[in-house]
Structure 1
Amino acid sequence: MPAYLARRLGSALFTVWLMSVLIFVLVRMVGDPAYLLMPPEATEADRQLFREQLGLADPVPLQYARFLAGMLRGDMGNSFHFGAPALSMALSRLASSLLLVGISLALALIIGLSLGVVSAVRRGTWIDRLASIFAVLGQAAPPFFVALLLIRLFSVQWGWLPTGGHGSWRHLILPVCALAWYSAAGIARLTRANMLTVLEADYIRMARIKGLPAHVVIGTHALRNAALPIVAFTASQFGVLIGGAVAIETVFSWPGFGSLMVEAISTLDFTVVQAAVIVSVLLFVSINLAVDVLYALVDPRIRYRQ
């Protein structure tokens, strides 16, 4: 296991470095912030002076070396648009997004596991059919479309919840539901499929013959052996929800990571885009590494080559 972790850490560091190169080059292909941030009456000499002040007039390799050295120190420069440290802005907005995504994923896992297990145990009943309808609708409807429907019903028509903003638990309900439905549908379908396979296994029949209680057979034996692909899928949904949060945060005016990325891209704020992408990559590779370790805890049959 230590050797495996060392290889994975090396791979993660290489991924972060490669993404830093890609995002550094790509943002400079989008446009010149001097034309966007300077007033229209500015001359070309004024724009050149502006580029020199920001360090954008230097050769790209020198700019990247400076950026990489700062990144290793935890300094990714200041925002062109706001003047604040780019890394601090990304981390502060990330906290809001993680709150939204974390609650959404937890809700999706609770609903998806419950529906998947119940529909597998009650296969062919009305509960199974309702769970299938829930799963199909959840994966067919984009989260932003669900968000608009929820706003129409619960905010505009009935007036029960705010249309957007940030400040209390009531502002979380609609965006969490809009995000969670898609992932809950996927988790429910995967749980049902894996549970149906496991419930036909010989050791489950043996456990039932022994007279073990149903909750022990289902919860301890069946669900644990069906959990490995569910763990992998749930971990992948974290990235899906982060991506879906961009649209949801825009619809609900939620001050999160996605809305910061939209603002930074629209203003060609290179430093903020770079900081946001690097933070995202670090988050994703950390989650993937944690999931790999969790595999061994969920399924003792897995052993990593030393």
Structure 2
Amino acid sequence: MIGYVASRLIRAVITLLITVTLVFLFIRFSGDPAAALAPPDAPQEVIEQYRRAMGLDKPLWAQYTAYLGAMARGEFGYSVHTGLPSAQLFLNRLPATLMLGGTALAIALLAGIPMGAIAALNRGRPIDRAVMGFSVFAFAMPNFLFGLVVILTGALVFQTYVGASEDTLLDVLPPALTLGLASMGAFARFSRSSLLETLNAPFMVAAEARGIPRGRRMWRHAGPNAAIPLVTLVGLSLGGLIAGSVVTEQVFAWPGVGQLLVRSVATRDIATVQFIVLAIAVTMICANLIVDLLYLVIDPRIRAR
């Protein structure tokens, strides 16, 4: 078991290092940040001053080692537009994103998994086809399109603007429903297929032959085994709480990390973009690591290996 945990930790560290390297290279190779930040009619001397101030006049390997050293010291740079630390800008927007993403995930879990279970227990019936039709629709519907429909409905029918408010739970429900719609369809399909596979397993047939009541078979045997694939999907959804709301935040003008990322990319704010991308990568890596460790608890076959 120690070897299993150690291998997952090493893999997480290597993945994080590769992510840091790719983000650093992609931002540098996408254009000259100094030229983008300087005024359009700025002479070359001014652009060179910008480049020296940002450390872009040094060789690429020197910029990379300096960046790694700064990260090791907890220094992630400052926004060139506000002068504030990039980490502070991120943390200021993080509560709004977590509120939106957490509510969307709760909606997807509370609605998607029961819908999938109902469809599996009624396989081939009209309710099964209805649930699967809805799940395909929810997964295929673009977030921005559904969000625009919600905004127009609120404005034209209820005479109210939807979004850009964190005051009450009712304010976050429309964007959260928009964000959680695709996840709801994915959870429904995964839970249905996983439960059907478990119900047709030999141990479930043996349990029915021994006369174990249906309710006990569902809760004690089918449920835990069917939940194993869903743990991976939930882990990916947790990791995507920050990154998955970019489009929804733009549509609803939600003051979160996704909106900050779009503005930072448009204005070539390198330090802020790098920190947000690294925060997203760390969140995804930690979520996958937690899922791998949870497998030790819920799946005895991994402990046996």
Residue 100 of structure 1 corresponds to 100
CA distance in 2, matches of 1:252, 1:296: 40
Residue 14 of structure 2 corresponds to 14
RMSD: 2.1
Q: Cα distance, 1:189 vs. partner?
A: 1.1
Report how many residues are paired: 304
Please, which runs of 5 or more residues in structure 2 have no aligned partner?
Answer: none
Q: Cα distance, 1:183 vs. partner?
A: 1.0
Tell me if structure 1 keeps the 8 A contact 2:239–2:285.
no
CA distance in 1, matches of 2:299, 2:84: 46
CA distance in 2, matches of 1:212, 1:47: 77
The change in CA–CA distance for 1:240 and 1:54 in structure 2 (over 3 A counts) is: closer
CA distance in 2, matches of 1:132, 1:22: 39
Instruction: Map Cα deviations across residues 72-101 of structure 1 (whole Å, 9 max, x no partner).
Output: 111111111221111222233233222222
Residue 285 of structure 1 corresponds to 285
Q: Cα distance, 1:160 vs. partner?
A: 6.9
Q: Cα distance, 1:122 vs. partner?
A: 1.9
Residue 116 of structure 1 corresponds to 116
Instruction: Map Cα deviations across residues 17-53 of structure 1 (whole Å, 9 max, x no partner).
Output: 1211111121112222333333334322122122222
Residue 262 of structure 2 corresponds to 262
Whether 1:143 and 2:143 are equivalent positions in the alignment is yes
Q: Cα distance, 1:206 vs. partner?
A: 4.2
Matches within 5 A, 1:1-306: 1-153=1-153, 155-159=154-158, 162-168=161-167, 169-208=169-208, 212-239=212-239, 242-303=242-303
Residue 162 of structure 2 aligns to which amino acid in structure 1? T
Tell me if structure 2 keeps the 8 A contact 1:81–1:269.
yes
Q: Cα distance, 1:252 vs. partner?
A: 0.6
Tell me if structure 2 keeps the 8 A contact 1:161–1:171.
no
CA distance in 2, matches of 1:254, 1:304: 47
Q: Cα distance, 1:241 vs. partner?
A: 5.7
Tell me if structure 2 keeps the 8 A contact 1:228–1:299.
yes
Tell me if structure 1 keeps the 8 A contact 2:98–2:241.
no
Tell me if structure 2 keeps the 8 A contact 1:161–1:170.
no
CA distance in 1, matches of 2:116, 2:160: 29
CA distance in 2, matches of 1:213, 1:304: 29
SS of 1:303 mapped into structure 2 = helix
Q: Cα distance, 1:102 vs. partner?
A: 2.1
Instruction: Map Cα deviations across residues 153-211 of structure 1 (whole Å, 9 max, x no partner).
Output: 2x122227632203222221111111111111111112111212222334334444555
CA distance in 2, matches of 1:87, 1:71: 11
Give the TM-score normalised by structure 2. 0.91
CA distance in 2, matches of 1:216, 1:162: 48
Q: Cα distance, 1:212 vs. partner?
A: 4.3
Give the TM-score normalised by structure 1. 0.91
More moved, 289-298 vs 196-205:
196-205
SS of 2:138 mapped into structure 1 = helix
SS of 1:25 mapped into structure 2 = helix
Tell me if structure 1 keeps the 8 A contact 2:199–2:222.
yes
CA distance in 2, matches of 1:199, 1:51: 63
Q: Cα distance, 1:303 vs. partner?
A: 2.2
The change in CA–CA distance for 1:286 and 1:45 in structure 2 (over 3 A counts) is: same
SS of 2:300 mapped into structure 1 = coil
CA distance in 2, matches of 1:78, 1:164: 29
Instruction: Map Cα deviations across residues 280-304 of structure 1 (whole Å, 9 max, x no partner).
Output: 1111111001001111222222227
Residue 158 of structure 2 aligns to which amino acid in structure 1? G
CA distance in 1, matches of 2:160, 2:187: 27
Residue 43 of structure 1 aligns to which amino acid in structure 2? P
Please, which runs of 5 or more residues in structure 1 have no aligned partner?
Answer: none
Aligned-residue identity in percent:
36
Tell me if structure 2 keeps the 8 A contact 1:111–1:184.
yes
Tell me if structure 1 keeps the 8 A contact 2:240–2:284.
no
CA distance in 2, matches of 1:161, 1:222: 46
